[in-house]
Every structure is written in C-alpha cells, then in structure tokens.
Amino acid sequence: MNINLTRLKSNILKIGEIGRKKGEGITRLAFSDVYYKASDVFKDLMKDAGLKVKTDRLGNVFGKREGKNNDLPSIMIGSHMDTVKNGGLFDGNLGVNAALECIYVLEENNIKTKHPIEIVSFNAEEGSEMGGTFGSRVMVGLQDPLENGLADKLKKYGLTLDDVKSSIRNTSEIKAFLELHIEQGGDLFSKDIPIGIVKGIAGITRYRISALGEANHAGTTPMNLRKDAMMGASKLMVEIEKIAKSMGAPFVATIGVTDVFPGAVNIIPGRVELILEMRDLNQERIEKAVNKIKKSAQSIGEVDFKFELLINKPPVKTSRRIVQCIEEACIDKNIPYQIMASGAGHDAKAIANKVPTGMIFVPSKDGKSHCPDEWTDWEDIKKGTEILLDTIIRLDRIL
Ligand SMILES: [Zn+2]
C-alpha cells in the first residue's frame, strides 16, 4: 500500500494557494471568504474521492466513507483549514489532506474498514473572538452555549447560538480521533527524527504578576531609598527562568507582556505588570512551579508582588492505546520516532477530552511555524501519512 506523494503534494499546494500573497505567506482566517473558498475546494476533493460530504453551520466540513458496519461509530481523522495571519503551508492543511490521501489509498487497495471513516476539516482552530479550537470544541460539546457574551461575539461572524447548538455532535458517534500535524517546534528537526507520537498536550496557566513599589523622582531619590518596581520585577524574572529550567522539559515559562507604570523616563516605576505563562503536561508540576515562584517573590525585599490567576487550562492526555498503535506502526515500517508532549494547543486537545485521541507530529524545519517560512520535508510528510494510514487500519481492527 503506497501513499501517492505527488497527489498529496498537489492537493496541499492547491489549498495552500488559497489566501497566499507573495512574500506574506498564507492568510485564511476563520469565517473569512478565503476560508470558505478553501473549504469548498476541499469539499470537491472529498466528493471526487467518493465521500459523503456535510458542512455544519460553523463551517466545519465532514466527509464520510462507509464501513462494513455502518452502525459502528466512525474513526475520525483530520485537522483544521483556517490559518493565522501570514501563516505557512502546512499548519492544518497537512492534516486534512493527509486524511484524504489515506482514503484514496484505501480505495485503490480495495480495503473496506469495519468502521466508517470520517474526515473532518475544522474551522476556527486558530484564534477568533470565541477563542482557539472553536470548531472542534463546539463539535464535542465543550463550548457552553450559555457562556456570557457568546451571542455578541458570534454576531460579529454572522452566527447565532442556534448555529452553535446545531453543530454539537453526539460523541458516541466517534470511536476515535486521529490528527497528523506539523510539530511547530524544533525538537524532531534538531534530532532528525521523522515522527513524533504525542502522549499529551500541555496545559496552559497564566498569571498577571504585579510588582508594587513606589513611584518617585528619578533624579532626587538615591539608590538606597528606592522601591523600584521595575528592578524588583526584573529580579523575579531572572528567578522565573532559573525555576523553569530546573523543572525540566516539557515545562516552559514565558513572560511575553510587561507594562510599566507610570512609564516615564524621569519617574521610578511604581508598578510593573507581567503576564507569566507556563505550560506542562502535568498540572501538579505547574502548581509546584507557581509555589516556587511565589516563594522566590517573597525574598525580593524592596517590592511587594501580587499574583492573579488569569487562565488555567489543564493538560490533556492522548489515548495510551492509540499511542501504542502508532508506535507499532512506526516499528513495523522501521521509521524512527519519539514519544513526546505537544506544547501547542490543537483540535486534538479539545477532542481528547471526550473521545480517545491520537496525534502524530512531523518535523518543522528550524522549528518554525505560524510564519511564511514554515516548512516540512516532503519525505517526512510521506512518512507521517503512511503512519496515519497504518494507524487507522490498526485501530479499525482493535477497536
Ligand atoms: Zn494547527
């Protein structure tokens, strides 16, 4: 059974042309005309492959291939069709087209699976007013239709609460979900390993940390009498980096936002606000790091620190059984792999809360993604798609 790389490449490039601007990468924002145009092209590709195609009212697209027993729930495979602004060729696009390629190969080899197979191409995985992975969160019922302010946000995209309600699927119709995606980090690429098997998707915890000192005259206040919020915040930042490194991978901590008040060249900062983001596969480890950081903040004498929790999205584990299946596929095909965490959020993360889920990574050249330079070697794409197909067949047998 062979993946047809020429066909897969041509389909990836075909979708990649939609929303592409020379020198600016690809922009197919959720709910945009360009997004729907790409979805229509993909729907036609699925129809040509003999799939029964459906679209929900949020613009998620499905294509179903019948199984031997259509009373069984589907094995669902896919990814997302929307991109960030000035994104790359493979983010999302790879997963939907690799899923379609698997269908072609099953057809060509007259392989009928026991379970129906359903391709999904999600809308709004990247950010929208409603937050990331909106399409998949709604599908599995994780988006509360009664969430405060949701109706107003939807209105901006011409959508209603009814559109959300009608797009919720009964998850008992889905036996398992598989997503092939680029790693969007440099781990596989730097180690020259073509396949990553995702054991879990990192949780995200964000705090606003306020360093509280005293604003005062920058010319007349001697160094020993200052309560400089900026200096205090800087000391804490250095400690945060040390703590993050001591936690070990996959723990990461980032301070991506700082605000200095009042923010003038001749005034000692009275208050500094930092947004600290931490990610890890284990919620307890994140909490442990927070405690260390708080303790460290207490030891910085000249300023007080206030911690305010902004977001806590717990990590999600993928299915151990599916991880095992993907691993067996790699061993069988003699393709090197590593079992790893995903630091980025994905549709698979939302779905893993409700349905046994597996995720396969292929390397991102120089670890780059969400930019026009995003690249993955075509040979790695072929390997990733082969493993995806092999895993579908294995899962169909054991589930
Ligand atoms: Zn993606």
Residue 308 parent element (H or E): strand 304-313
- Whole-number Å distance, alpha carbon 109 to ligand 1 midpoint, is 30
Same domain for 191 and 209: no
Interval between CA 181 and ligand 1 midpoint (Å): 7
Long-range interactions of 107-111: CB distance < 8 A, separation 24+: 107/49, 107/50, 109/1, 111/1, 111/393
Q: 210 alpha carbon to ligand 1 midpoint, in Å? A: 33
Does the annotation flag 126 for ligand binding?
yes
Ligand 1 centroid to 166 CA: how many Å?
24
Supply 395's token pair.
């899962």
Q: H or E stretch including 179?
A: strand 174-182
CA dihedral for 319, 324, 327, 332, sign (positive or negative): negative
Which tens digit of pLDDT belongs to each residue from 255-298?
Answer: 999 999 999 999 999 999 999 999 999 999 999 999 999 999 99
- DSSP output for 347-386: HHHHHHTTS-EEEEEEPPGGG--SSTT----HHHHHHHHH
pLDDT at res. 104: 98
ipTM at complex level? 0.97
User: How much of the chain exceeds pLDDT 90, in percent?
Assistant: 98
Q: Are residues 236 and 376 in the same domain?
A: no
For position 368, which CATH number holds?
3.40.630.10
Q: How far is the CA of 101 from the centre of ligand 1 (A)?
A: 18
Centre of ligand 1 to C-alpha 7, Å, is 22
For residue 243, give the DSSP letter: H
- In this structure, the answer to whether residues 264 and 184 fall within a common structural domain is no
Do 238 and 367 sit in the same domain of this protein?
A: no
pLDDT one-digit tens code per residue, 186-203 = 999 999 999 999 999 999
Query: Is 368 in contact with 375 (CB distance < 8 Å)?
Result: yes
Q: Cα of 212 to ligand 1 centre, how many Å? A: 39
Ligand 1 centroid distance, CA of 265 (Å): 42
Q: Are residues 228 and 174 in the same domain?
A: no
Q: Is 394 annotated as a binding residue?
A: no
Q: Which of 267, 292, 313 is a domain's end point?
A: 313
| Number of structural domains the chain divides into | 2
367 and 386 fall within a common domain: yes
Last residue of a domain, one of 281, 313, 345: 313
- CATH number of the domain within which 222 lies: 3.30.70.360
325 and 280 part of one domain: no
Per-residue pLDDT at 1 exceeds 90: no
**What are 378-387's pLDDT values in tens digits?**
999 999 999 9
Q: What is the pLDDT of residues 21-71, one digit of tens each?
A: 999 999 999 999 999 999 999 999 999 999 999 999 999 999 999 999 999
* Residue 370, marked binder: yes
**Whether residue 301 sits in one domain with residue 265:** yes
Instruction: Work out the mean pLDDT of the chain and round it to a whole number.
Output: 97
Q: How far is the centre of ligand 1, averaged over its atoms, from the C-alpha of 95 (Å)? A: 9
pLDDT exceeds 90 at position 301: no
Calpha distance 55→66 (Å, rounded): 17
Those residues whose C-beta lies under 8 Å from the C-beta of residue 259, and which sit 6 or more positions away, are: 272, 273
Same domain, 273 and 382: no
Per the structure, the complete domain to which residue 305 belongs is given by: 203-313
Cα of 211 from ligand 1 centre, angstroms: 35
Task: Using the 3D structure, point to which of 313, 343, 375 is the last residue of a domain.
Answer: 313
For residues 30, 33, 38 and 41, what is the CA-based torsion angle, rounded to 10 degrees? 140
Distance CA 282, CA 315 (A): 6
Residues 259 and 389 occupy one common structural domain: no
Q: What is the pLDDT of residue 170?
A: 97
The answer to whether residues 259 and 319 belong to one domain is no
Residue 225 burial class via C-beta count within 10 angstroms: exposed 0-12, middle 13-18, buried 19 and up: exposed
206 belongs to an annotated ligand binding site: yes
CA of 348 to the centre of ligand 1 (A): 10
Mean pLDDT of all residues in 75-82? 98
User: Residue 6 corresponds to which tokens in the numbers above?
Assistant: 């020429």
- Residue 94 Cα, ligand 1 centroid: separation in angstroms? 9
101 is in an annotated binding site: no
Percentage of the chain with pLDDT > 70? 100
**Dist. CA 368 → ligand 1 center (Å):** 13
Distance CA 323, CA 344 (A): 18
pLDDT of 209 strictly over 90:
yes
Encode pLDDT of 117-175 as tens digits.
999 999 999 988 999 999 999 999 999 999 999 999 999 999 999 999 999 999 999 99
212 and 189 in a common domain: no
Backbone angles phi and psi of 127, in degrees to 5: -60, 145
Cα(161) to ligand 1 centroid in Å equals: 25
- Please, are residues 251 and 244 in contact by the beta-carbon 8 Å criterion? yes
- How many C-beta neighbours within 10 Å does residue 336 have? 12
